[in-house]
Copies of this chain bind each other. A is one copy, B any other.
Amino acid sequence: MPQLDGTDEIRLVHGDGGRATARLIKEVFLPHLRDESLQLADDAAAFEFAGAAQMAVTTDTFVVSPLEFPGGDIGDLAVCGTVNDLSVNGARPRWLTAGFILEEGLEIARLSSVVNSLADRAAECGVSIVAADTKVVQRGNGGGIYINTTGVGQVLVEADLGYHRVRPGDAVVVTGYVGDHGLAVLSHREGLEFSTPVVSDTAPVWPAAGRLLKEFGGRVRFMRDPTRGGLASILAEIADSASVDLLVEEEKIPVRHEVQGAADMLGLDPLYMACEGQMVLVICSEAAGEAVEALSELTSAPAVIGQVQAGTGLLKMRTPLGGTKRLGLLSGDPLPRIC
């Protein structure tokens, strides 16, 4: 009987976007799905279509609970999440498909409101919903609404991105405040109220991603949106996959005061909480300042937060007091159904 982390059953931790998810993919999915174009550990696959421009395809399923949260709903998330996966792979988002699983007993009014959000967000992002599907499952076999979106985009000729392009000396940039989405969903779900409300950052990163690629071309080495697992998990993945060390400065990482406060109260770390409208970039250090300047018109709090060093795959964080600690993938209590 196959086992994963000492259990022969799927546990919630297998969906956390951290260490356990990585093992699930590596040990259960990849042995069967060996297709060379498949990069399950990556967020989109790019390939040529009939001799035309490079096309990127990505798929993502959304199971967020509750369906509505401060700053958006599952319809907003289902569009932005997939648009963002295309964007960080250097592809202009063009088309989406949407597959709905509806639970018996769902209010039609709520469904209608979610479909409306999805349509509005798609229009905002300039993508067309080209195919859709609905299935209904019995009460107690769903979560109200689950949505899969699959996106097709056109890779910009300027894009030359990948772990293999990350090199020592490069700068690490984040586009804005981290942890907002995870904390907004979690606190809304738990009925917590804070004096300053925390709102999800759900938004498309496309205009920003496209502008950076047009302006800086191959000097942008790598882009990724830090969703499940948060900023720290993505940084740990970059270090591991590119076989370099990353050194980040804790005090340079943009975290809203109210998010840090609420996270502290809950015993959580914003660096491991999902964002839904941010990017992490690795960029040639000479271009980093200009990139932050360009981003400042488009994103909430762009900042150079660290640098790439020759190394063995470690993520290191320098604390305000001058110490350095090592961070890894998210590994611990999962925050289920954040996206």
Contact = CB atoms under 8 A, between A and B. Distances in A.
Interface string A116-153: 10110010000011111111111011110010101010
Interface stretch (A2-10, A247-255, A275-283, A293-301): A2-10
Interface string A51-64: 11101011111110
The listed residue with most B CB atoms (<10 A of its CB), out of A8, A21, A63, is A63
B135 A63 contact: yes
Interface stretch (A31-39, A66-74, A194-202, A229-237): A31-39
> Oligomeric state, in number of copies?
2
A337 B2 CA distance: 28
Interface stretch (A97-105, A159-167, A284-292): A97-105
A108 B49 contact: no
A104 B10 contact: yes
A111 interface: yes
Contact of A50 (B52, B111, B136): B52
A108 B50 contact: no
8 contacts: A7-B108, A25-B134, A28-B112, A32-B119, A57-B130, A59-B133, A63-B135, A142-B142
Given A10-B136, A38-B131, A51-B52, 6 more contacts: A10-B104, A15-B135, A33-B115, A49-B154, A52-B53, A148-B150
Q: Top 9 closest A-B pairs, CB basis? A: A15-B136, A52-B52, A148-B148, A150-B150, A59-B97, A45-B130, A32-B119, A61-B99, A50-B53
Interface of A: 1-4, 7-12, 14-15, 21, 24-25, 28-29, 32-35, 37-40, 43-45, 47, 49-53, 55, 57-63, 95, 97-109, 111-112, 115-116, 118-119, 122, 128-138, 140-143, 146, 148, 150, 152, 154, 336-337
